[in-house]
Structure 1
Amino acid sequence: MTLPAPLAAQDAKQDITGLWAAKKRFGPDVRGTLTLVREASGWRAEIAGRKAAVTQAGDTLRFALAGELGGFRGRIEGNRIRGHWIQPRSVTGGMRYATPVVLAAAGPSLWRGEVRPLDESFTLYLKIDREADGRLGVFLRNPDRNIGRNVDLRHIELKDGHVRLLGKPGGATEEVEIATGNFDAGNRLLSIAIPGRGNSYDFEPAGALSDFYPRPGLTAPYAYRPPLPKQDGWPVSTLAAEGIDRTAIERFVQMLIDQPIDSVHAQDIHAVLIARHGKLVLEEYLHGTDGDALHDTRSAAKSLTSVLVGAAMQQGTRIGPETPVYATMEKTLPADLDPRKRAMTLGDLLGMASGFHCDDRDPKAPGNEDVMQDQEAQPDWYRYALDLPMVAPPGASRVYCSTNPNLAGGVLARVTGEPLEQSFDRLIARPMQFGPYALNLQPTGEPYMGGGAQFRPRDFMKLGQLMLDGGTWQGKRILSADWARRSTAPSGELRGLHYGYLWWGIDFPWQRGKLPAFFAAGNGGQVVMVVPKLDLVVAIFGGNYGDKVTYVPQEKYVPDHILPAIR
């Protein structure tokens, strides 16, 4: 029997199947023109209608806004002031970030520059479908942090305007309640509380043009277009000109576009870039991302620590693999210091062979990254690392631990006497023509060198080209050829792969033999892969954080789709 129209319409309003999207933006609100004024009584700062007194120590300037709304630290360099804006703690991730600021002279005793903090937003997608048994199946996708993988939603229940989200977090055997909320049928609004991520989110129906999909609105087959030139140092060329099969690459990108988003584990590729013979030949972005947006590089930024050490060495800093860790970090060594700690060197930290009890895969290890970052008793993470117990002599075995590269950054800062963000800007960012970037900070304000810095994809990819070219970028010597070789050469094994100084190594099958490659890699699918024999650099960025498919770009996409296209 045909239902009366009013009742049918009412049933339709109660139908919550389909794609729902919610997005929150958390600022930060303080941004725009920063003005520094030097007066007889001292310095003062103005930004976004707020004022602050500035302290000066030599050529260094600092200030912090009331209410922890932001701050600045930098130094006077001729007629400019170069520094970094320190934004408030992130709502969804808990970290603070430092972004570069350059103030130019705008008059007598007056300097101005633009503050562009890292925008913080959080996007959630709910995909709801009716299952064969009548229940409503659901999964949650979150391209910023992928909490969907962590909560592992399975079903959603709707009754009398109230919803319950059920899942199996942490591999649970039975479904448990993850979150609750309300459904406003009249306004087509699902309001659901997400604990610890900015309170409740209002989900609205999302159509086929949503960034949930790789290329929303694209109906014609993908057609290759060469990258556009930018003022960032990258020469551009075409696939054909650099000996890469265009048809094969078009087929690969089309595969990414056609990727079904049918579960929380579906591939979430945000960017694919290829450079050959030092020229950028492919630059494609998916899921609403673009080349100007900063991307979280996660642990791929560990490799940056090795690059920064090498750049400091090239500039004459007396530091190297043999630099002692404890004698550098401590004012005086205690008489009862464990001999293994006394023997630890910077090379041990860079090679993941410190001997600390700090396995990132072992939640019981006191040096585990999550354990260290979640504890509040010791906000100084350098001190926390130095106090860790030892489980092996330095150099005896390799264990993946983010504490190691972070402490290596501390050793570098102690030797140079220069803040790490200034060293990075001076030695890497400026000479390599980086654009905007955001360095995540420790509770005490130093950049965290264990991973998580954010860069534009074209900029971060430059690190791979730098190492491929023996430490030079567009003719500029950034680090020595010897350091580039030592950092990327396999000197041991870690997790079944080769490992150097914070660079991974792998051998791909190639023409009945092996094709050596090295790469930087991070959680979520962040990869900068370098294949020296083919004069090739591949960069892939993604959003599968904490997911089992995070290794697909390096283990499948590069060897199965990109390498066969190289002539």
Structure 2
Amino acid sequence: MIKKCYIIPLLAVLFSFCSPKKAQFETNELIGVWSGILFQTESTYDSLILLPANAPIEARLYSKGKKTVHHINRKGTNLSFKGPSGLRFDALLSNDSKALHGVLTHDLWAQSLDFENTDDHWVAKIHKPEIIDTDYLVYLEFYKDSAGTVQANIQSNKENRKLHFAIDEVLIEGNHIDFKITNDRFGISVVYDTEKRNISLTYGNAGGQREIQLKKLNDDQLEGYLPRSPKEKYLYNIPEAPDSTMQTASLEEVGIDKSLLDFLGQANSKNLEHIHSILITKDGKLVFEEYFHGYDREYLHDVRSAFKSIASLAVGKAMMKNDGLHVENAILDYYPEYDIHDVRKKNITVHHSLTMSTGIQLEDEDKMQWEHEDWVGHKLDLPMAHEPGQVYEYSSGGSNLLTGVIQKSVGTYLPLFFYEELLLPMEIHDFQMLTSPHGRGYLAGSFYMRPIDFTKFGLLVLNKGTWNGEQLIGESWIEKSTTPHIKGSWPKNSDYGYLWRLLEREVGGKQMKTVEAWGNGGQFLIIIPEIEMTITMTGGNYNLFPDMEDRPFSILNEYILPAVQMK
């Protein structure tokens, strides 16, 4: 009997250690959305000062209060200096010395700078780069399913986290919370502090682990997590003109029915999940401009591969500056530094690069950028898979061969050429452009600009290359670049111009030809010449097929295009 008295309590103790611990708090305390900053990017530099103002010879570059001095090289009105690790500055001083615009390149990014003349010197603030890791918030939502079981969902403000993983199960033991997720390359766990009522999240991936604090959000703090705040009632307003070169109007004024707005009544449905902006112009006027998930007009968005279409326009601009540039010119004429003997590669022309038909074996873009400093050289080193011009094969490396073509033709650093010749005349002052470690601007994507400025390129095409009375791009080039040259592979057997997709869509019950720029994640610029209309969309559904196309196109085809009233 004595032994039994000791055995029973002992078994109870053993079971208490072996059996799972229940939550040490009411699980209802978890229910809701929690958020914190998972990644943050800071600027390497704070500001740049050039002096004296009328003829700058010295540049003072500041980083966290510390100054480095660089001698400015001047060639006509062009100013420049170079520093270590790919640092370089390039600018254009106006002939009357009253305006100065430039680009600062560091850490592979070229960033626009606008200077102010203050006390006989020029000064420009340098903002932190607006890349995906800047101000990257994570959202962790706990909720109960119909059976009363705690479930969870993880998201971010920058991209749809479903690309990485989803949460299958929530495991609560004490104040520790683990998760069964769909991708073992990642890991997340949580500790809930019952006194402070906050969450400590441990997040792990191939780059290591980091721990951040999450705070519970109120209902009026959910607009980054949800497309729109659930308390916000939508009211249509005519957009404000971004500058003097764009006009605005109401939907009714340009013949668009207000039924277009019906999709906003379901703003927090999955249809708008990680769609970041939708902008519409009609008859040359901005009539609709809405942002979601906390985005706004001033945010610089990566337009991804949609930038390829803008690169096509840049080729046309380069032709205006150098009449020796033709689509029949051989690509290798612009790269004499490479010793290439393959006759087929010598036959690759500018036309082939513009039509995704170089014939060079398809590159792995990520591998190219992570493992090679010379991205052009890497592409040219790959073997030939087809004769040039024979087969369409979508290739970022192939279109990026145009970087040297433009830069050699105009004799200007490519990011500065973009700023000086294309962007500034269109009142576009803020952009970021990826450059390779070899020092060349990247033309296949990773270009950040405001969606409203992305829209301007659609208007430029509709205006046949004219902007605010100035012929920025030759009218003949606009026509040539938006004319079918080859059959594309997506949509299958569709027409493809010079880095433009040439499709058809039903508008107001009628089939119409469209000119379109597409980018990964939901970046779209859709131009409908017949009715002088453009639709711009940006999003964060990166690499999520078919969601990144289906969601924006369902809004386009079910709400926007049917609302156009045909005359």
Q: What TM bracket, shorter-length normalisation?
A: 0.7 to 0.9
- 1:204-240 deviation per Cα after TM superposition (whole angstroms, max 9, x unaligned): 22232212122214353x2211111232521111111
In structure 2, the partner of 1:123 is: 137
2:104 pairs, out of 72, 81, 85, with 85
Contact (CA 8 Å) 2:275, 2:552: kept in 1 or not?
A: no
Contact (CA 8 Å) 1:353, 1:398: kept in 2 or not?
A: yes
Residue pairs, 1:50-89, within 5 angstroms: 50-59=66-75, 60-64=79-83, 72-78=89-95, 79=97, 80-87=99-106, 89=107
Question: How far is the alpha carbon of 1:43 from its aligned partner?
Answer: 2.4
- 1:103-134 deviation per Cα after TM superposition (whole angstroms, max 9, x unaligned): 354455x3323323434221211223334566
1:371 pairs, out of 350, 355, 367, with 367
In structure 2, the partner of 1:214 is: 227
Question: How far is the alpha carbon of 1:77 from its aligned partner?
Answer: 4.3
Question: How far is the alpha carbon of 1:177 from its aligned partner?
Answer: 6.5
2:388 pairs, out of 394, 415, 430, with 394
Is 1:304–2:314 an aligned residue pair?
no
Q: Flag the structure with larger Rg.
A: 2
Question: How far is the alpha carbon of 1:56 from its aligned partner?
Answer: 3.6
Instruction: Look up the equivalent residue of 1:43 and give its one-letter code.
Output: E
Is 1:555–2:556 an aligned residue pair?
no
Residue pairs, 1:32-47, within 5 angstroms: 32-37=46-51, 43-47=58-62
2:174 pairs, out of 147, 152, 160, with 160
Is 1:17–2:31 an aligned residue pair?
yes
- Aligned to 1:482, the other structure's residue is in SS state helix
Instruction: Look up the equivalent residue of 1:532 and give its one-letter code.
Output: P
Question: How far is the alpha carbon of 1:135 from its aligned partner?
Answer: 5.4
In structure 2, the partner of 1:228 is: 240
Contact (CA 8 Å) 2:154, 2:166: kept in 1 or not?
A: yes
In structure 1, the partner of 2:296 is: 290
Question: How far is the alpha carbon of 1:157 from its aligned partner?
Answer: 2.2
2:433 pairs, out of 432, 436, 439, with 439
Gap change, CA 1:230 and 1:44, over 3 Å in 2: closer
1:101 pairs, out of 101, 106, 113, with 113
**C-alpha separation between the residues in 2 aligned to 1:273 and 1:477?**
25
In structure 1, the partner of 2:277 is: 271
In structure 2, the partner of 1:251 is: 262
Instruction: Look up the equivalent residue of 1:218 and give its one-letter code.
Output: K
Gap change, CA 1:513 and 1:537, over 3 Å in 2: closer
State the identity as a percent.
25
Contact (CA 8 Å) 2:23, 2:173: kept in 1 or not?
A: no
In structure 1, the partner of 2:322 is: 316
**C-alpha separation between the residues in 2 aligned to 1:511 and 1:74?**
47
1:191 pairs, out of 198, 201, 208, with 201
In structure 1, the partner of 2:12 is: none
- 1:422-468 deviation per Cα after TM superposition (whole angstroms, max 9, x unaligned): 11011111111113111122223332211121111111111111112
Note the aligned Cα RMSD (angstroms): 2.9
Question: How far is the alpha carbon of 1:482 from its aligned partner?
Answer: 1.7
Residue pairs, 1:334-349, within 5 angstroms: 334=340, 337-349=341-353
**C-alpha separation between the residues in 2 aligned to 1:70 and 1:189?**
40
Question: Higher mean Cα deviation, 206-215 or 531-540?
Answer: 206-215
Question: How far is the alpha carbon of 1:305 from its aligned partner?
Answer: 0.7
- Aligned to 1:11, the other structure's residue is in SS state coil
Question: How far is the alpha carbon of 1:504 from its aligned partner?
Answer: 1.0
Instruction: Look up the equivalent residue of 1:233 and give its one-letter code.
Output: T
Question: How far is the alpha carbon of 1:138 from its aligned partner?
Answer: 2.8
Gap change, CA 1:49 and 1:389, over 3 Å in 2: same
**C-alpha separation between the residues in 2 aligned to 1:372 and 1:332?**
17
Instruction: Look up the equivalent residue of 1:190 and give its one-letter code.
Output: S
Instruction: Look up the equivalent residue of 2:231 and give its one-letter code.
Output: L
Gap change, CA 1:338 and 1:136, over 3 Å in 2: farther
Instruction: Look up the equivalent residue of 1:406 and give its one-letter code.
Output: N
In structure 2, the partner of 1:499 is: 496
- Aligned to 2:405, the other structure's residue is in SS state helix
Instruction: Look up the equivalent residue of 1:186 and give its one-letter code.
Output: E
Q: Which runs of 5+ in 1 are unaligned?
A: 1-7, 90-95, 170-174, 359-366
**C-alpha separation between the residues in 1 aligned to 2:404 and 2:177?**
48
In structure 2, the partner of 1:469 is: 463
Q: Count how many residue pairs are aligned between Structure 1 and Structure 2.
A: 526
Contact (CA 8 Å) 2:190, 2:199: kept in 1 or not?
A: no
Question: How far is the alpha carbon of 1:415 from its aligned partner?
Answer: 2.3
Is 1:521–2:538 an aligned residue pair?
no
Residue pairs, 1:440-455, within 5 angstroms: 440-455=434-449
**C-alpha separation between the residues in 2 aligned to 1:557 and 1:286?**
14
**C-alpha separation between the residues in 2 aligned to 1:165 and 1:408?**
47
In structure 1, the partner of 2:4 is: none
Contact (CA 8 Å) 1:146, 1:544: kept in 2 or not?
A: yes
Contact (CA 8 Å) 2:281, 2:287: kept in 1 or not?
A: yes
Contact (CA 8 Å) 1:146, 1:546: kept in 2 or not?
A: no
2:335 pairs, out of 329, 332, 336, with 329
Gap change, CA 1:349 and 1:232, over 3 Å in 2: farther
Contact (CA 8 Å) 1:529, 1:539: kept in 2 or not?
A: yes
**C-alpha separation between the residues in 2 aligned to 1:133 and 1:483?**
62
Instruction: Look up the equivalent residue of 2:177 and give its one-letter code.
Output: V
Gap change, CA 1:41 and 1:487, over 3 Å in 2: closer
Contact (CA 8 Å) 2:508, 2:561: kept in 1 or not?
A: no
Gap change, CA 1:44 and 1:371, over 3 Å in 2: closer
Gap change, CA 1:490 and 1:267, over 3 Å in 2: farther
Contact (CA 8 Å) 1:85, 1:117: kept in 2 or not?
A: no
Question: How far is the alpha carbon of 1:346 from its aligned partner?
Answer: 1.1
- Aligned to 1:100, the other structure's residue is in SS state strand
In structure 2, the partner of 1:384 is: 378
- 1:297-328 deviation per Cα after TM superposition (whole angstroms, max 9, x unaligned): 11111111101111111233522311211122
TM-score by length of 2: 0.85
Is 1:404–2:401 an aligned residue pair?
no
Contact (CA 8 Å) 1:140, 1:149: kept in 2 or not?
A: no
- 1:42-83 deviation per Cα after TM superposition (whole angstroms, max 9, x unaligned): 624142522223144443322448xx7976333544425432
Gap change, CA 1:198 and 1:565, over 3 Å in 2: farther
Contact (CA 8 Å) 2:167, 2:182: kept in 1 or not?
A: yes
Q: Which runs of 5+ in 2 are unaligned?
A: 1-21
